[in-house]
Each structure stands twice: as structure tokens, then as C-alpha cells.
Amino acid sequence: MRIGFIGLGNMGGPMAMHILEAGHELTVYDIRREAARLHRERGARWADSPMAVAAASEIVFTSLPGPKEVEAVVVGEGGILQGAAPGTVYIDLSTNSPTLIRRIQALAQEKQVAVLDAPVSGGPIGAQQATLAVMVGGDEEVYRRVKPVLEVIGNKVSYVGGIGCGAIAKLVHNMIGICMQLVLAEGFTLGVKAGVDPQALWRAVADGAVGQGLMLNYVIPNVVFKGDFDTVRFALRLARKDIGLGTELGREFNVPLKIASLVEQDFVEAMARGWGERDSTAPFLLQEERAGVKVRQSS
């Protein structure tokens, strides 16, 4: 296929190379011409603008820093939509704004250009090894048609839903991951200051329910999706006791635990509602109440 790729940084560069190595005819562009040197040496064509890339391609990928760059490259002067012919598929691999990609999709539709948002996760190593997760939003028929190309850059390609859903999934993923960094920071600073060797602490956490992915792999699909907060696997009153002991230890050793303290207050509220004998996951209901949505899966 004739494929265009715009944005050849730490993520885009390796992804574009995989597409080239898969035997596709590749046209590339980056604001730094030097970024395309290896691609050009291996047979890729250089274009002088995003518009020229689009004019030469059946599928156009972008891998850019954020919404501002995506908007400029797609709808700006000399942008993708000025060069794309009817039937072209535009796929954005960036971590982008769902609102922007939906606006781009509406503009592209007028030109009979299909749009998919397909942000990736796995970092530069995943990009180099083609082991990225690719979260795709947009028309499902278009997704199925281009999936073989997406599988060149990632081995975990999934359809998330309509246009913008890929971006939403990626933002949720990154938000959770970034927040987990601070929870881990609280936990490890507490453990080390209280006297545990860092390596031993890491091993203990990695071997436990946290390291085994119990929350994501079991609780979300088997408890939250089913709304089964009354089958007691670990009583809420015991979890409230444990988080309380944790924050008490933090006060004893003068370790600030902002996130743990916020979580403790949710467990205090749950106890005040008389939920002590429900499952320890029941505070999930408090956030559902605040958000005005239930996270349930019928099937």
C-alpha cells in the first residue's frame, strides 16, 4: 500500500520503519528533515509538506506531540486535508484530544476522507519492538480494513468504539498510570523510611495482589462490571482498618500520604453509610455516585 507517515520522533520513527520493512511504499515528513535519514536510506520518499504526504498516500499516519501539532498538520495551511483524495484514510497515533479528533473527522467527512484515532501505548521500546498496544476509535469497517497495517506497529490492536474512543481510552490509561506513580511513591517512601529494604519491599509488593494485577484483571471485570459489591471477598471494615494503619504509620514516621489520606476518607464515608460488612471494593460506588454513571457490562 501507499502509506504516509508524519512525525518521526522516538515513537513515530520506529513505527514508520516497521511499515517500510513490511514492504509498503512509504512517504515521510517531519519538521526535522534529519529525522527521516534512515527511512530515506531504506527507500522511503521524502515529501515537503503534510499535504504532499497525503497526496501520495492511501493511508496517512501522524505521530505528534499533542493536539496543537495535530490540528496544524491536519487542518492547517498545507495540511493533510488539503492533499488527501477521497477514500484516503487518516490515522492519528498521537495522544490527542477526543474533541479535536471528532472535529477533524467531521471536516474530513466532507472530503470523503475516513478518520481513525489510534493512540499507542508501550513507549519507545514498544515502538522499536512493534509490541505496542493500539487503541482504535472510528468506523469499525474502516478499522477492519486497515487493521493489518496497524498490526505491523503493535501486537495488541483493539477496537474501542466510535471516533474519539481511542483517545479517551488512552487518556484514561495514562491518567491511571500517572496517578499510580504517586501512590507507589507514597508507599515506597513510607516502607523505606519505616525500615524496609527497598529491594525487599519491591519484591513483597510485586508478589502480592498489587503485583499480580488483581484489581485490573479480576476486580474490574468480575466485581465492578457485575455490580457485585455484596459478595464479601475482603470486608470493607478490614480494608478501612488497613488503610488507617497505613496512614497512622505515615504520621509516626512523618511521611506525607496525601493520596492515601483521600482514599481513607472514602472508606470512612463508606463505613458511615453502614457498608462495613460489604466487600472492600464498595467505595467504587461512591465515585460512580459522584460521576453520575455506573460502570457495568451486561454480557
Nearest in space to 28 (alpha carbons), one of 4, 2, 62:
4
CA distance 88 to 75: 15
Give the 3-state DSSP-derived string for 151-203, with helices as H, strands as E and coil as C. Answer: HHHCCEEEEEECCCHHHHHHHHHHHHHHHHHHHHHHHHHHHHHCCCCHHHHHH
What stretches of 65-133 show up as alpha helix (H) in DSSP? 67-75, 80-83, 98-109, 123-129
Which residue matches cell numbers 513505527?
Answer: 15
Catalytic residue among 111, 147, 156, 170: 170
Q: Is 69 in contact with 93 (CB distance < 8 Å)?
A: no
Q: At what angle do helices 98-109 and 165-193 cross, to 10 degrees?
A: 160
Q: Give the side-chain half-sphere CA count within 13 A for 222.
A: 10
Phi/psi at 117 (nearest 5 deg)?
-100, 125
68 in catalytic set: no
Annotated catalytic residues are 170
